[in-house]
Amino acid sequence: MITLYDYELSGNCYKLRLLMSMLGIEYKTVPIDFYPGREHKSDWFLKLNPLGQLPVIEDDGLVLRDAQAILVYIASKYDPSGTWYPRSDPALLGEISQWLAFADGITGTASAARLHDGLFYELDVEAARAGAHRLFRILDEHLWFGEQEGRDWICSAPHATVADIACFPYIMLSEEGGIPRQDYPAIRRWCDRLKRIKGFTVMSGIFPAGPARAA
Amino acid sequence: MSPTKCQDQVVLDLWHPLAALEEVPARTVQDTVLLEERISYVSDGEGKAAVWRSRPDLPAGSPVDIDTLGGCLPIKLAYGYIWTSLGTPPAELFPIPEYAEADRRKLNAATVGVNVSAPRAIENFLDMGHFPYVHTDILGAEPHTEVKEYDVELSVERDEIVATRCRFFQPMASTASTGGADVEYIYRVPHPYCSVLYKSSPVDESRLDVIAVFLQPVDQEHVRAHMMLCVLDEENEDKVIKRFQQTIFGQDKPILENQFPKRLPLDPRAETPIRADKSAIAYRRWLSQKGVTYGVIPAAT
Ligand SMILES: N[C@@H](CCC(=O)N[C@@H](CS)C(=O)NCC(=O)O)C(=O)O
Ligand SMILES: [Fe+2]
């Protein structure tokens, strides 16, 4: 069984909880005291991941770090439908990789701003916010053009892929870093579609789709 | 001394929390912001600490010896936190007698920055109505959405708001829970920016867990929320107990940050009575009576 080294408020850990929930796979979690304990920088954790970052998984003796890498692994191994990471379609795989890298850029900007505002990380928050807006603008246009062509998801497939999962959390949490999303209507519609995928689950700060969300 | 940015003498004279003592690196200057003023503090790691208005010769990160410091602000170490004041604080901070009970777990669940006024955050803390919708399957669940009748009073001798006989069905009231239960709550607001709640302990029905939120007003629309836990739980590691509370607070955060206006309106006609329920009405009235103006929109006079 997969063991996830996990922190509840981490959007990167949530990427994996989300995919595993959508795939309906069971897993174990080892809670890490990311804040305030900085357990991800402790000696024992650095042996698991010398980068001192969450998430990490262990599965059948394999230790893997990096949310995007783990999404690829889990989808390749545990998705019988083969849609989340379609291994036989080179063009689509290229697209997915492109947007997985983009997702890491969202972590470097939108998530950084959130850590600054919420957990007092010292960094240039204005630069982080500006960087996030630049990425959101690019994604919003991409999604808007996709909608014109009848494409609902980030990549050229009739279904969501791991790229959608990877981009989703820190976009949804962006307001906690002072990054409003009202100028990105196509992103908002895409988030709503993602929330309606079977098996969708929430994390703290992200609410389910629909009328439950108070104005 | 330069004039303070906050002009509210009531608030200036309060004790305000700055940081969890245990988390402060020893003998190194730390910086924070209180009421729009830059404040520095240090702990010697052995139970002594000092607080002062930040000054250029002692930048954050520099080593410092507490005993040689002059010109410090008032300081109190209480409930695991460093407290200070920019005015003339009372001799004592409000009491939490349970904190002295030896068998309790005492933790700072986290200190979190929130883009909200302190009074809005207190009001959310008092409101049970949001449990099923915001803390779904933890502190509430449909169809158990009704906030049953409860009592609120202003305790004159203690100068605090007390809400009693609050009851709510909770699927997972704490880390020590084994299933859903009708949970009894008592809420106290003994300080304009601090609230203490008591809830039935799943491990000992004769006792109550204590959870407090101590808000450090950074400015009128930003706080550092310090979450203190003082609970009965012999099973779970610290980090599991903290995780539970952080999960809950993480759910509240977007709700708090989307409040509009960010400052709490004290005019009784300002917001509908549904949002401002009984304890909220008492809290707003109490702030008005005290003459608090910082973090609120005072009622027109
Ligand atoms: N929401 C609070 C603090 C977070 C918090 O701890 N809130 C309440 C729920 S709103 C809580 O955790 N109660 C704990 C419980 O009922 O177990 C705030 O605004 O500062
Ligand atoms: Fe709440």
Distance CA A206, CA B288 (A): 35
Q: Is A204 on the interface with B (CB under 8 A)?
A: yes
Residue B279 scores a pLDDT above 80: yes
- Whether the CB-CB separation of B231 and B241 falls below 8 Å is answered with yes
Query: Could you please report the per-residue DSSP string of A64-88?
Result: EE-HHHHHHHHHHHH-TT--SS-TT
Surface of B (114-153) touching A: CB under 8 A: 114-115, 133
Give, in degrees to the nearest 5, the angle at Cα A107 between A103 and A111: 140
- pLDDT, residue B1, reads 56
Give the CATH number for residue B187: 3.90.380.10
Output DSSP code: residue A140: H
CA distance B154 to chain A (A): 31
Neighbours of A70 (CB within 10 A): 24
Which residues constitute the domain of residue B142?
Answer: 97-297
Q: Which domains does chain A have, with CATH numbers?
A: 2-78 (3.40.30.10), 90-195 (1.20.1050.10)
Query: Tens digit of pLDDT for each residue in B135-149?
Result: 999 999 999 998 889
Are residues B193 and B261 both part of a single domain?
yes
- Percent pLDDT > 70 in chain B is 97
Q: How many other β-carbons are positioned within 10 Å of the β-carbon of residue B230? A: 22
For residue B3, being part of any structural domain is answered with: no
- Find, among A61, A64, A42, the residue nearest to A52 by Cα: A42
Ligand 1, atom nearest to B225 Cα: 20
Residue in B closest to A177 by C-alpha? B115
Torsion B64-B65-B66-B69 (CA) sign: negative
B50 with B139, same domain?
no
Q: Are residues B35 and B166 in the same domain?
A: no
Q: What is the pLDDT of residues B201-244, one digit of tens each?
A: 999 989 999 999 999 999 999 999 999 999 999 999 999 999 99
Instruction: Mark whether B131 and B271 lie in a shared domain.
Output: yes
Mean pLDDT of chain B: 94
Residue with tokens 């999303």: A181
Residues B75 and B101 in one domain: no
User: Does residue B193 share a domain with residue B262?
Assistant: yes
The interface pTM score, or ipTM, of the predicted complex is 0.93
Q: Please report the pLDDT score of residue B277 as a whole number.
A: 86
Is B4 among the domain residues?
A: no
Report the CATH number at residue B74: 2.20.25.680
Checking if the pLDDT of A213 tops 50, the result is no
Mean pLDDT for A181-187 is 98
Best CA proximity match to B258, nearest among A107, A215, A159: A215
Of ligand 1's atoms, which has the minimum distance to the CA of residue B195?
Answer: 20
- A1-21 pLDDT, tens digit per residue, is 999 999 999 999 999 999 999
What pLDDT score does B276 carry? 55
Give yes or no: residues B33 and B104 share one domain: no
Model confidence at A212: pLDDT above 60: no
Backbone dihedral angles phi then psi of residue B13, each to the nearest 5 degrees: -80, -5
- What total of structural domains would you count in chain B? 2
Burial A115-129 (b: 16+ CB within 10 A, else e): bbbbeebeeebeebb
B147 and B238 belong to one structural domain: yes
The pLDDT value recorded for residue A161 is 98
Residue from the list B111, B240, B249 with its beta carbon closest to the beta carbon of A36: B111
At A215 the pLDDT is: 39
Does residue A78 surpass a pLDDT of 90? yes
pLDDT at A210: 80
Whether B153 and B225 share a structural domain: yes
- Residue A203: what pLDDT? 98
Q: Is the pTM of this model over 0.90?
A: yes
A214: chain B residues, CB-CB within 8 Å: 133, 255
Residues B258 and B237 in one domain: yes
User: Do B54 and B14 lie in a common domain?
Assistant: yes
Q: Which sign, positive or negative, has the C-alpha torsion A32, A38, A44, A50?
A: positive
Residue with tokens 């998801």: A153
Domain boundary residue, one of B40, B57, B84? B84
DSSP string, B179-208: S-EEEEEEEEEEETTEEEEEEE-SS-TTSE
The reply to whether B148 falls in a domain is yes
pLDDT at A192: 97
Q: Say if residue B33 is in the same domain as residue B135.
A: no
As a whole number of angstroms, the distance between CA B128 and CA B140 comes to: 9
B257 in any annotated domain: yes
Determine, yes or no, domain membership for B90. Answer: no
Domain termination residue (choose one: B58, B84, B110) = B84
Asked whether the beta carbons of residue B113 and residue A37 sit closer than 8 angstroms, the reply is no
pLDDT of residue B46: 93
> In this model, does residue B122 exceed pLDDT 90?
yes
From residue B29, alpha-carbon distances to A202, B37, B44, B58 in Å are 39, 16, 10, 7
